[in-house]
Structure 1
């Protein structure tokens, strides 16, 4: 039974990945607004209903995989080591993703990830979704911090700074990839930049929250 469930889960991930890949390629070629869900389904060799079962909306197909990482910073803080500050936990999580060339932080050089970034720049509805995604990520982290400290105001300030540093690093990785820089050089530069970025945030937050 466990093996059957594992196989079913793998097949679902493969189907979702195929739908995403096809959708990104079609939309990058013709424009997001000029591709229908029915066309995505046909190209992915699934039914239109299957696309909606996996993603809900056409916007979800493109940005859904990215939005799966909205809780990453909050999880880093929630699962941090005893005595570790929120900044230290966020820094450690980010640095641990670099050797894996994690696409969620803009590494790996996946051409489709870059296509998604371009689609976001060109498509107002997708750009709006990304704004909502970032706001949700900030709020999830703020909720985690406020639960510990009881102070939602400072929790939101801290969350905005941490997410801002993380987003700036990811944006730089994408920009360097688009410029054609080798992935190994980008990763090395990212590690150095992450240390500087989180150092700057640490100076402002001074070990917050103090009751870790």
Structure 2
């Protein structure tokens, strides 16, 4: 008798989480380049082909954690409150992330989060894959901006504004992480992070406001 579909999916989710957690723990302990896929499979007690059924590459074992945020900015623009411009909605969303100490803003001092970010930032192949995620996010955000009433016509303007936002978000997050990694607390860094976000979005909006963004 076959298993119910829901049970199979839950088992797959548990295996996927086990593989990722095992890999990240090993990467943090020994370094990304020193740990092989076969080592991870053995530690998780699965075969190497099984691991590759869940993750297409070694990098995906780490960066699938970014998948929850893939396309998030585009969703923020599409779901924004009536009367909000796209940049106002993105600013409010980022500020809420700072207040909630969301890891994606860099303002989270949980030791495992700090170590995870260091792993990503210090590993060239992971940094390159993050750039791929950013490019996909830029494309998705540009599409959402194109749908927003009143914004400048033409795909170039949408792409330029989207790219500027994605880069700004990355720079703010990395700056926040660097401050925490240097030994400061979230409480100490939070006001500066808010001020930096205010400055960044002011610069963005001053340049883009005349085009309806």
TM-score normalised over the length of structure 1: 0.83
Q: Does 1:68 align with 2:71?
A: no
TM superposition shift of 1:82? 1.5
1:16 and 1:98, CA in 2 relative to 1: closer, same or farther beyond 3 A?
A: farther
TM superposition shift of 1:11? 6.1
Q: 2:203 aligns with which of 196, 200, 204?
A: 200
- Give yes or no for contact 2:108–2:114 (8 Å, CA) kept in 1: no
Task: Find the residue that maps to 1:20 and give its secondary structure.
Answer: helix
> What is residue 35 of structure 1 aligned with on the other side?
35
Deviates more, 1:49-58 or 1:134-143: 49-58
> What is residue 193 of structure 2 aligned with on the other side?
190
- Post-superposition Cα deviations, 1:162-203, rounded to whole Å, max 9, x if no partner, equal 112211110111101110111222333322322221122111
CA distance in 2, matches of 1:208, 1:55: 42
CA distance in 2, matches of 1:144, 1:12: 32
1:191 and 1:18, CA in 2 relative to 1: closer, same or farther beyond 3 A?
A: farther
**Runs of at least 5 residues in structure 2 that lack an aligned partner in the other structure:** none
- Post-superposition Cα deviations, 1:29-57, rounded to whole Å, max 9, x if no partner, equal 33322212222133234443443333222
Cα RMSD for the two superposed structures: 2.6
Task: Find the residue that maps to 2:101 and give its secondary structure.
Answer: coil
> What is residue 161 of structure 1 aligned with on the other side?
164
Q: Does 1:173 align with 2:179?
A: no
- Give yes or no for contact 1:87–1:207 (8 Å, CA) kept in 2: no
**Runs of at least 5 residues in structure 1 that lack an aligned partner in the other structure:** none
> What is residue 105 of structure 1 aligned with on the other side?
105
Deviates more, 1:40-49 or 1:170-179: 40-49
